[in-house]
């Protein structure tokens, strides 16, 4: 299981996100629904506005990661197709085991 850590940020009024009670841990179905509705209404981006617009007590990073890694409708899950495997093998033959630097 992956955990998402958010950094406590001090606001101009001197309060930090840690003292504001930003929720951490597993997402509930209700939170997922609120996030989906917010993205449907306002679109992706401006993640700093998402928690307040959606009525979520989460940090912007947590909202963005939840959307990008779990809730986004075009996320492809499952086995690689034959074409994808072929592409991976051709690229590996071309590039080898080099890491990007």
Every domain of the chain and the residues it spans: 29-95
Burial of 34 (0-12, 13-18, 19+ CB in 10 A): buried
Q: Which tokens hold the place of 45?
A: 């981006």
- HSE at residue 84, side-chain half, CA atoms within 13 A, is 5
Distance CA 56, CA 68 (A): 17
Checking if the pLDDT of 77 tops 80, the result is yes
User: Which CATH code of 1.10.20, 3.40.1390, 3.10.50, 1.10.10 fits the domain covering 29-95?
Assistant: 1.10.10
pLDDT at 27: 96
Which pLDDT tens digit goes with each residue over 31-59? 999 999 999 999 998 999 999 999 999 99
The pair of structure tokens assigned to 8 is: 């406590």
Distances from the Cα of 79 to the Cα of 2, 87, 91, angstroms: 22, 14, 19
Q: Binning pLDDT at 50, 70 and 90, where does residue 84 land?
A: very high
Provide the percentage of residues in the chain whose pLDDT is more than 70. Answer: 78
């Amino acid at each position: 299981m992956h955990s998402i850590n958010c950094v406590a940020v001090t606001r101009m009024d001197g309060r930090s996100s840690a003292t504001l009670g930003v929720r951490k841990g597993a997402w509930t179905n209700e939170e997922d629904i609120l996030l989906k509705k917010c993205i449907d209404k306002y679109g992706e981006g401006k993640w700093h506005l998402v928690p307040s617009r959606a009525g979520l007590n989460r940090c912007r990073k947590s909202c963005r990661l939840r959307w990008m890694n779990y809730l986004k409708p075009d996320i492809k899950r499952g086995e690689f197709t034959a074409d994808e495997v072929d592409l991976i093998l051709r690229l590996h033959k071309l590039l080898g085991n080099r890491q990007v630097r």
